[in-house]
Structure 1
Amino acid sequence: MSECTREFFLLNDQLLPVRLFDGRFKPPANYVYEVFRATRGVALFLEDHLGRFFRTADLSGMVIGISDSMLKSGIKKVIGNNGPDDGNLKISLYTDKDGQQLFIYYTPHFYPTSEEFRTGVNTGLLFAERNNPNAKVMDTRLREEADLMKKEQVVYEVLLVDHDGFITEGSRSNVFFIKDNSLITPPAGMVLEGITRKQIIQLAAENEIPLKEEKVHHQNLNNFDGLFISGTSRRVLPVRRVNELEFPVTDPLITKLQQLFEQKVNDYLQKS
């Protein structure tokens, strides 16, 4: 499957047909990237995504001559030339022998089905961790290891476990645990701070939902009433099983957060 979909992509400041993408996109094993969702022609929570993109570049020691307005202009051009259907866009940035290469393009997405939102998904535990969890840098080795485990164990997502046995995040998501009508999520320093994670934390504060950032050891999973994963594609997605441990997916807190998040998306679309 190609990394790039639809009809056109942007390379630096040039709009090109998708058929040329594979011949131009030659990134190293680790490169800076950002993924966000477009709905009805609007890039959702774009300011937050671009903020994280620039922070990642800074954490990676990359000096980039690209401004916020340049990125927004490029994103608008890609969306405008590919149609307003829902989809995920990706910004990829790396340096090769020809200099800095900036790509903006639609990338394949796999949104949960309505059934998965209703009945939850199965997950597994992968004992691995990111080298720099706060930076959104593609780690090809870890991505391949996670994707292989998903395929072999037939699970929707894998939760990463660090060398001390604490759950940090999903391979492409953040994780929230539920205990006594309260939320617990791993501390920001341990994870890539997802934009959806940020929105959920804000929603919890606005709606007086107790939330703590605490480490959760994988051996203590059975102490929780439930859990869900969050992300650009997943939004608020209940987890039905972690390895062989089953969890209920009907916790009213999950349903409430799903509704609150959808309302937040609608509010954003109306203001854009």
Structure 2
Amino acid sequence: MTQIHPKGHQMPSNFPVELYEVIRVIRKVPLFLEEHLDRLYQSARVAEVHHLPGPVALEEKLISFLRNSKVSEGNIRLSLTIHSNEDVPEPAMAFIPHRYPEGRNYAEGVRLRTLMSQRELPNAKIYRPVLSQRTDEIIAEGKYYEVLLVNHKGYITEGSRSNVFFVKGNRLYTPPTQQVLPGITRKVILRLCIENDILISEEPIKLLELDTFDAVFISGTSVKVLPVSHIDDHQFERANMLIRRIGRLYDTQIESYIRNKIMP
């Protein structure tokens, strides 16, 4: 059985439901923690999940976990598994294996492959084992760094673990927020573009229009701002100046955040 959200979205009624965030840690600082917690509760609202621990309690548990850990760099997975409408879940957190791009990936760009698939609730970060398994299999073959999802209308939405941006001239394009998981890195990039007078448009991107763009990059917790050399058989600029500028702005934002959040 499926519940219908007032706006017409179909809501999952089968438990358990697992909400989660993957947070990058640098020098024991969880990057953009406030935004991650905001998205966690937004995911809960979209999935109609109630009775979660409060944000202050979650932040305290995470900070305590980091203080007591010998690990100072990596990715933490924070998850909440809800078993019923009345369940108040205990947060689970652990450092998980990560794959950060190498220097040559930033210099040469990476290859992406498209996959006809879409998330049921794109604005909610909910674990979807079937989709994750399929994209993991493609990436494990070694030819492609990431998989781009294409919906049934032929529009590119997002990567399996990333958001995607396209460059045409001096303007950025990215799929609309309502079509994608609003990534934390994506959110920071959008803000940086506004603050630095970089032109950006949120609009649907057709798979058939790929050849009209000059360059592409993906963004995410692990990849940061990563240039793309190919999508399927389409080739793009590897050293686009606008992408390099955004990458520098994002790295500067990370360092500023860490300076303000260094734990005693």
Pair in the same fold by TM > 0.5: yes
Residue 134 of structure 1 aligns with an amino acid whose one-letter code is N
Q: Which amino acid aligns with 1:40?
A: R
For the residue of structure 1 that corresponds to 2:181, the secondary structure is: coil
Corresponding position of 2:9: none
Instruction: Identify unmatched segments of 5+ residues in structure 2.
Output: 1-14
The root-mean-square deviation of aligned C-alpha atoms, in Å, is: 1.6
Distance of aligned partners of 1:29 and 1:161 in 2 relative to their CA distance in 1, 3 Å threshold:
farther
- Aligned: 1:248 with 2:230: no
Which amino acid in 2 is paired with 1:133? P
Is the counterpart of residue 131 in structure 1 residue 120 in structure 2? yes
Q: Deviations over 1:109-149 (max 9, x none)?
A: 11111111111111000100000000000111111111112
Q: Which amino acid aligns with 2:166?
A: F
- 1:104 corresponds to which of 71, 89, 93: 93
- Which residue of 1 is the match for residue 62 of structure 2? 75
Deviations 1:181-218 (A, max 9, x none): 11000000000000000000011111111000011100
Tell me the TM-score normalised to structure 1 length.
0.87
CA deviation after TM superposition for structure 1 residue 84, in Å: 4.8
- Report the counterpart of residue 7 of structure 1 in structure 2: none
Please name the residue that 1:55 is paired with. Answer: 42
Q: What is the deviation of 1:33? A: 0.6
Deviation of 1:102 after TM superposition, in Å, equals 2.1
- Give distance in 2, aligned partners of 1:245 and 1:65: 44
The correspondence for 1:140, drawn from 116, 126, 129, is 129
Q: Does 1:178 align with 2:150?
A: no
Moved more, 204-213 or 75-84: 75-84
Shift of 1:154: 1.9
Q: For 1:150 and 1:30, locate their aligned partners in 2 and report how far apart those are by CA, in whole Å.
A: 26
Cα separation, partners in 2 of 1:164 and 1:259, compared to 1, 3 Å = same
* 1:201 paired residue number: 190
Q: Output the CA distance in 2 between the equivalents of 1:232 and 1:143.
A: 17
- Pick from 10, 30, 34 the counterpart of residue 43 of structure 1: 30
Match of 1:234 in 2: 223
Q: Percent identity?
A: 38
1:159 corresponds to 2:126: no
TM-score (norm 2): 0.89
Distance 1:127 1:95 in 2: 29
Whether the 8 Å contact between 1:176 and 1:227 is mirrored in structure 2 is yes
Deviation of 1:271 after TM superposition, in Å, equals: 1.1
CA distance in 1, matches of 2:56, 2:167: 39
1:259 aligns with 2:248: yes
How far, CA to CA, are the matches of 1:89 and 1:151 in structure 2? 22
Q: Name the residue aligned to 1:121.
A: 110
SS at match of 1:31: strand
Task: Note closer, same or farther for the CA distance 1:29–1:129 as it changes in structure 2 (3 Å cut).
Answer: farther
Q: Across the two proteins, how many residue pairs are aligned to each other?
A: 245
CA–CA separation in structure 2 for the residues paired with 1:109 and 1:29 = 26
